[in-house]
Amino acid sequence: MAMQEEMRQTALELTGDELLVAQDLKKYFPVTRGIVFQKEVASVKAVDGVSFALHEGETLGVVGESGCGKSTMARCIMKLLEPTGGKITFRGQDITKLSRAEMRPFRREMMMIFQDPYASLNPRKRVGFIVAEALQVHKLGTDAEIKRRVQELLEVVGLNPEHYNRFPHEFSGGQRQRIGVARALAVNPKLIVCDEPVSALDVSVQAQILNLLKDLQRDFNLTYIFIAHDLNVVRHISDRVMVMYLGQVVETADRNSLYQEPKHPYTGALLSAVPVPDPTVGRGRKRIVLEGDVPSPMNPPSACRFHPRCPRFVEGRCDVEEPALINRGGPASHTAKCHFPLERWPLTEAEMRTAGTAGTTETAA
């Protein structure tokens, strides 16, 4: 049985026209100790074997709670951090080992938008300069051309082009995030990695930015990796969604498949934890409340990392044998890293707690 699972755990099926492929991506941060000489005694496995493929024009949503490694993964893909292991392929070219200089042509094609619109803009530079910086670095046009382009960009993201000469502090949070978007768009990138771009914003302003990102994707055929802890937001913007827990992908599927038929108990717990803004629906259902906190990534639990908090934990199985990230029913592209996937959704609390009933891999395999 374990053999079969292993055999089904194939590497990504690649067609060759992916924009970005990550294979078994790892990032470990060393923990050192020592009086004079520092020796490595442990490592924080922030990202531990993440694989995915992304096609042009697609949006991949990445959800998970703080400490699950989603931001570290994004920084590895952007090569802002050196991955410890694994391979990143961008447009068919392996960029994992490229030096800073060799990365330069790729930098134009992949940009990033950050969470904090207050901290990610240099307060001493004018908005025009901030947006134009990448254009100047890559020497894309004369000064006059760059200025025209910057004003055009400001208009595209819904800012007044006349505000070219203002400083970031003269803008509100939402407007600053628009500046961040304009900066990312300046060099016509293919891929934009958005790291929690709306989590610092008010609801009404959040909607403006989400709509803007969707419009830009349509107009410029952009590809997004959208990282957020808010499941509602990820659902709204993504085509595919990847759920991360303690540095690993626990479930990945098309948006509808993931939200309608989650397979992994962690995804189920996340979905049931999101408050529904509807008093009749919201009060009728039961939250699946997970016990305790996320364990330390320095010393992750054995086998399935979710097992100490999992409502369907089966002793002797989940803590011994690591489940593979494979199809567990539903569409072929829907994979989950769990021995006892959820049979249907929503489940009652009792059903949630009884693993190994009909319909699980046990019998299916």
Residues that bind other proteins (CB under 8 A): 35-36, 65-66, 172, 174-175, 202-208, 210-211, 214, 229-233, 235-237, 256, 259-260, 269-283, 287-290, 293-294, 345-346
The nearer residue to other proteins, 143 or 291, going by C-beta atoms, is 291
Please state the closest distance from residue 276 (CB atom) to other proteins, in A: 6
DSSP characters for 87-119? Answer: EEEETTEE-TT--HHHHHHHHTTEEEE-S-TTT
The nearer residue to other proteins, 27 or 309, going by C-beta atoms, is 309
DSSP characters for 158-222? Answer: T--GGGGG--GGGS-HHHHHHHHHHHHHTT--SEEEEESTTTTS-HHHHHHHHHHHHHHHHHHT-
Separation between Cα atoms, residue 288 and residue 64, nearest integer Å: 16
Compute CA distances 1 → 321, 323, 339, 363, whole Å.
12, 12, 11, 10
Helix (H, G, I), strand (E, B) or coil at 289: coil
Please state the closest distance from residue 332 (CB atom) to other proteins, in A: 21
Compute CA distances 159 → 113, 162, 164, 357, whole Å.
17, 9, 9, 56
The nearer residue to other proteins, 60 or 78, going by C-beta atoms, is 60
The nearer residue to other proteins, 106 or 226, going by C-beta atoms, is 226
The nearer residue to other proteins, 104 or 287, going by C-beta atoms, is 287
